[in-house]
Structure formats: structure tokens, C-alpha cells
Structure 1
Amino acid sequence: MYLSSLGELALGSRLKALSDHFYGAADEVYRTCGAPIESRWFPVLRYLWENGATTVSDVATAIGQTHSAVSQLADKLVRAGIVKRRRDAGDGRRSLLDLTPKGRHALASLGPVWVAVRRGAMASLGEDGAALLAALAACEQALQQRPIVDAILAEHAALKAAVLEIVPYEPALKAHFHRLNAAWLERYFRIEDIDHAVLGDPQRYVLGPGGAIFFARLGGEVIGTCALLHESPGVYELSKMGVDETFRGLGAGRRLLDAAIAEFHRRKGRELFLESNSRLKTALRMYEQAGFVMQPSTRPGSHYERADVYMVYQPAASKRAPAARKAPKPG
């Protein structure tokens, strides 16, 4: 499923989908068994059944819903004749929710249905069902101890304060080299055979022949990468430049490019080139600012079907404009 690939980012959406699934299943069971209630009514009705007349606020606190949501549901239950509102004899300012005789009669016959729901859910989910209930209980307790909004905003503040760093390749980062490049290749073009080879085995195709790989990292999150390929003695190719497009405005692309160029100079290279595509205009402007000069034709013997741009690094041609304020599209 797509949502599962998003991990924590889609937690609410996944729980919503599961909730809708369970609500739908319960409603189908109620209809089949002739039960005159709906699944979304259950928490309020069951609480009133077990605790007697109580306020909307108390019900909302007990079942973890907002006062507004419970009040609206109570209005619906009153219209259905299952719940009534009455004044609190001990405090005339308060109104209480209570089951009507019709409501009590409806719930009194649901014991077998509720037992079947409980047993059927466990039969369907197996051991995962028990684990899910335990995980939900742990999740509820954790959220009470530290509200999730506070935790998220604290993490966001830490990321905003973090310093963008450029780090060299290490085996633990291999998956990010593939992830970041596959993202832009699939978005704009396709992953060619040469891409599959390089991204799948960077040790063999990049590092082994004398190349280098760099990563941009922010607060522990890897947000960009690029490679310096050793083409032949003194000749290097800038390749596999990709920046996560959700991290714009940090200058990660230019920092990666500068790191690759600095490594080229450190190795006393004599030629540095790149191949790209004319569709990637933001990236091409960044390359030009760094000193890459557009060549009149594509590079002879190019490995890439998508390549219609050939640029060669000429330091004297660098415009040395301030670092771009936007992260570039990959090139």
C-alpha cells in the first residue's frame, strides 16, 4: 500500500482508513443481525449503559472525543429516540444524557452481537489483533504524557536550527543514494540500465574506479546526494545529483556541487564534465553559476538516452553568484 510507504507521515491517514474499515464492518454486522444502532453510536451508548446519566463533557473525556463531536452525536441519538436530555436535579445549570426505554431495550439484546464482534475480530486478526490493542493502549498513554503537537514542533525547531552538512559516502548511506536519484529519474524521465547499475552498486561503479559520493544531511536526515565519477586519468564526471524537492531553500544542491568541485581540484583533475537535460532549467543555471559551460553538441558516446546537454567545467567562466536560495531540480 502507498500509505504504508510513507511511515509516520501517513499515520493519521492509515488509522482513518482502518477506522472506516472497522466502522463499515460493524455496521454490516448490525444490519445483518437486525440491531437498531450504528457503529459510530457505540462508545456513547455503551458508556451511558454502564454509567447511567452523565454530562456531554464526561462522556467526551471518557471516550476521547471532543465536546462538540459528542454533543452533535447526542443530538442525533435524541432524534432517534434512543437518548434523552434532562436537567441535572443536583445542578439545574447542567443537562444530562440518559438512555430512553427504547435505547435500553435496543442495547439489552446486543450481548450476543458484541461477543461475536469481539471474537470475530480476534479470529480475523489473530495474534496481530492482540498486538494492535496493546499498541493502541501504549500509544494512548504516550500521547497523554507528551502531546504529539508539542513533540512535532520541538523536532521542527531542532531541524530549523540544524546546520546543513556535507558528508562522504559510507555503506549505511547506500540506500539514500538510490532513493534520492530514483525519485528525480522516475519523476522526469526513467531509470535507464546504466542508472540501475550505478545506483545498485556504487562501490563497484563509483568508488572502486576512483570516484566519490557526497551526501547533504540536515539534523540526521539525508536530503541530497551527488557523485564524482572517474572517467579516465584526470577526467571526472559530475553525476547523480539529486536533492529531495521537499527541502527547498537550503542551498543543498549548491553545497553538494561545491563539494564535488573541491574534490576534483584536490585530486588535481584536468577535466570535469556533466551531462543533463534541457528540461532541468534550474539545475542548468546552477551549473553555469558554478563554472560549467554549455557545449555546442552532446557528448560523443554518452551513456544516457535522456542526455541532450553537455557541459564542461571552466573555472574562469564561473559567475560565482551567491548560492542559490532554492534547492535545484536534479541534473
Structure 2
Amino acid sequence: MEFFNQIGKVALGSRLRRLTEKITEDAAQIYRLYRIELQPKWFPVYYVLSQGELKTITAIAREIGHSHPSVSKIIREMVKSGLVVEEKDVTDGRRNMVRLSEKGQEVTAKIQRQYQDVSSALEEVSAQATHDLWKAVEEWEFLLEQKSLLRRVQEQQKQRESRQVQVVDYTPPYAAVFKALNEEWISTYFKLEEADHRALDNPEGYILAKGGHILVALYEGEPAGVCALLKMEDSAYDYELAKMAVSPRFQGKNIGWLLGQAALQKARSLGAKTLYLESNTLLKPAIGLYQKLGFKKVVGPATPYQRCNIQMALTLDEQ
């Protein structure tokens, strides 16, 4: 107990396993106490069958919330012990039905006193306890069905790692990173086009000198992502959000979202009212990010990119 008190809630699984093992060990001895040939792990399957209906393995698995392979294994063990029999479904010969054997039905007659004594013992424990374990388990099961523990940990991981991200303005030493990150993702899905070369080979002349801006995301000081705002002339839109790329090494750390948010904030500071972007629907995570940022599909101006099959825009004062 001292170990669990020291390590705290991060050992929840281990502590629950310890409690489960203790209860399961007692349950096995209780069955022996009442001379009942059951294993604790068989009980949910046994109880469903003890209600008297023929059942398929699929139906049992659904009813008790176990996997089909798990229930199938238990049924095989119970058949071997003589508690369960299998037979073909009279209406569909392809399906096996299971039911308690005569020996299994004898268990049902014997187990009633055990139920009574176990229930009384559990009521005694509950009366002595400060917290209602049964209600707590129900509540935890409900909450974890809504959002699993894994998902909750992933969210905490992303939040923690997001705090290690710093978005800074472009400076000349980042030119190689800006080019490399964009070449990497473009080459993975498409091919580099003339407009790509113009922006990536000379970002200072093609983007910055024309009133645009470039942002660089640093993760623990290392360049991890980039994006640009291109000033649009003679257009219904003020800036184009373009050349957004995150290194595969740093994906899953919320960097795309933080870059997007920083780009929107920078656009506002530059007096922009509208933003525009071009993408491809093959890039589903990117499209999802743009939608989350508030971009909506539009019919935009002529594009220099063959790979563009979707255009999106955002009105900043609606954010």
C-alpha cells in the first residue's frame, strides 16, 4: 500500500489490477466453499445462459460487453468442463447455439445460497466504506466511454508539448528550413511547380519584399514548422495563407494549429480583413485544420498551381 501512496494516481491500472486479483482469488475460493465448479471468469457467460435461453456467442458477447474471441474461448472451456453444450440452430444450420447442460443447470440450483451470502457480505463492506465503489465504477465507466483514458492522455500530451512551441518571425537563417520543409511535403504528395520554386528559392524577394510575412514555429528551439502570408494585389482578398509545412518529426504537437493562429493574428496586425488559401482535398488533415481556423470553401481567382482543387477564404472580423 505504501508504494501506491507514494506513486499516486499514475499507478491506477496497477492498483485496480491488484484489487481485481484479490477479489478474483476470493471468488475462486467462494465457489469451492459452496462446491460449485465455476471459474470467476466464466461467471458473466454462465449467468446469461442461466436465464434459460439458447444464445449465440455473438449475442452473449454483446450482452456482457466482451469480445467475441474472449467469449468463444470461455465457451470452449465450459463445454470441456461439462457445464455447456453447443448445438446447431434449427432455423440456420450455419450458427451454433449454446445452453447450459444438465450439469450447468444443477449449478443454477445450488448457486442461489451463494448469491444470497455474497450479496450480504458485499452490503456489509459497502456499509463500512466511506465511498460507494459500485457507483464510482459506473461513473468512471460512463466517463471513459465518452472519452477514453488514452484520448485524455493524448490531449494532455499535446497541451504540454504545445507549451514548448514558440512562433517567431522569419530571419534569413531560416531560409533553408522554409525551403526544405515545403519541398518535403510537396514532393510527398505532388510535384514542385514553377510557383513553388519562385517562393522557396527567394522567400525574401518573392514574399517579404512584396509586403508579405513568414512565420517559423520552434519546438524547444528547433525549427519545426513554417507558414507564409503573401500580400495579394488587385484581389478581393488581402493576404494568402501559403507554404504551411510541419516537419513529420514534430507532427501531433499542435504546431499546425499554433502556426495558423499566429498567422491570423499577424494578418490582423497588418490590417488585413480577409485571408485566402489554396489546397488539395487529398490533404485531409490540412483541410480539417483550415476549417477549424474558420476558412470556408469559395470560388477564388485563377491559380498558378496544378495541384489546387479547393480554394478557401476567411473574413477576420468574423473570428
- TM-score by length of structure 1 reads 0.46
- TM-score by length of structure 2 reads 0.48
